[in-house]
Amino acid sequence: MKKVAMIFLCLLILILPSQVFAQRKVPILIYHSIDEFNGHGSKDLYVAPKNFEKQMIYLRDHGYTLLTFDQWQDIDKVNKPIFITFDDGWKNNLNAFDIFQKLKNERFQPTGTIFVISDFIGRSNRLSESDLKMMADSGIISIQSHTVTHPNLTKIKNHEYELKESKDKIQKVTGKPVIALAYPYGNFNNKVVAETKKYYSFGLTTIPELFSEKHIKDELYLLPRIYIKYSTTLNEFAKIVEGD
């Protein structure tokens, strides 16, 4: 019986593609402004809308499945999972939303996650409550937390205010669960992770690598993300998402 089982296992290894046995690597990309650079701030925190659209077309044409953190459990069920995230809640993220709507079809269902600073909602260059509600209701965009005021969480004492208040306000605006936090500046330590676990299921860093399951402590609060910049070419983008 053991011999039959061993023969079957050997045949299985030969028949099934090697990637089934490989560690799955999942890109989590980070964007800020989806707009032409206007001379204010850091140029590499912008991505021109035409380039963002080309990047999303690349994902569509190469069989990627865009997910939000509400769908985390699906990363082992879908073809080529990827997460598209945007930090800060800039008004120009509506450009990304429009591109997602434009590219959406029966085969390609684009989604993304915007991490908003709750005290900045409604400022002149930030998304308004009605923007956030509209995008959340569309099912295309998930609205998650980037704290109340965007502090360095490793330098403050009142974590409950920054973490719980932002979660509560965003949930009130969108009517949807807030389960993920993007650490401002990517800064975190053991204390920050411990506080984040009280209110969220995920914590996102700016460690520049693809996610792969390592079975380490607090793994879902140490999620890595890779910046896509104004200067990122489509060829460079392809290498990032393919893990080359």
Averaged pLDDT, 20-40: 87
Q: What is the predicted pLDDT for the residue at 244?
A: 82
Q: What is the predicted pLDDT for the residue at 235?
A: 98
Q: What is the predicted pLDDT for the residue at 41?
A: 87
Q: What is the predicted pLDDT for the residue at 38?
A: 87
139-153 pLDDT, tens digit per residue, is: 999 999 999 999 999
∠ CA 148-207-50, nearest 5°, is 80
Is the pLDDT at 46 greater than 90? The verdict is: yes
Q: What is the predicted pLDDT for the residue at 22?
A: 53
Q: What is the predicted pLDDT for the residue at 4?
A: 45
Is the pLDDT at 89 greater than 80? The verdict is: yes
Q: How far apart are CA 101 and CA 217, in angstroms?
A: 38
Q: What is the predicted pLDDT for the residue at 15?
A: 43
Compare 220 and 5 and report the one with higher pLDDT.
220
Residues 6+ apart with CB under 8 A from 88: 32, 115, 116, 117, 120, 126, 146, 150
Neighbours of 32 (CB within 10 A): 23
Torsion of CA 125, 28, 206, 101, to 10 degrees: 0
CATH class of 25-242: alpha beta
164-185 pLDDT, tens digit per residue, is: 999 999 999 999 999 999 999 9
Beta-bridge mates of residue 26: 211
Residue in 140, 139, 156, 145 with CA at minimum distance from that of residue 204 = 145
204-220 pLDDT, tens digit per residue, is: 999 999 999 999 999 99
Q: What is the predicted pLDDT for the residue at 70?
A: 97
Q: In degrees rounded to 5, what are phi and psi of residue 214?
A: -115, -5
pTM beyond 0.75? yes
101-135: burial string, b at 16+ Cβ within 10 Å, e else: eeeeeeebebbbbbbbbbbbbeeeebbeeebbbbb
**Which residue reads 């004492």 in tokens?**
157
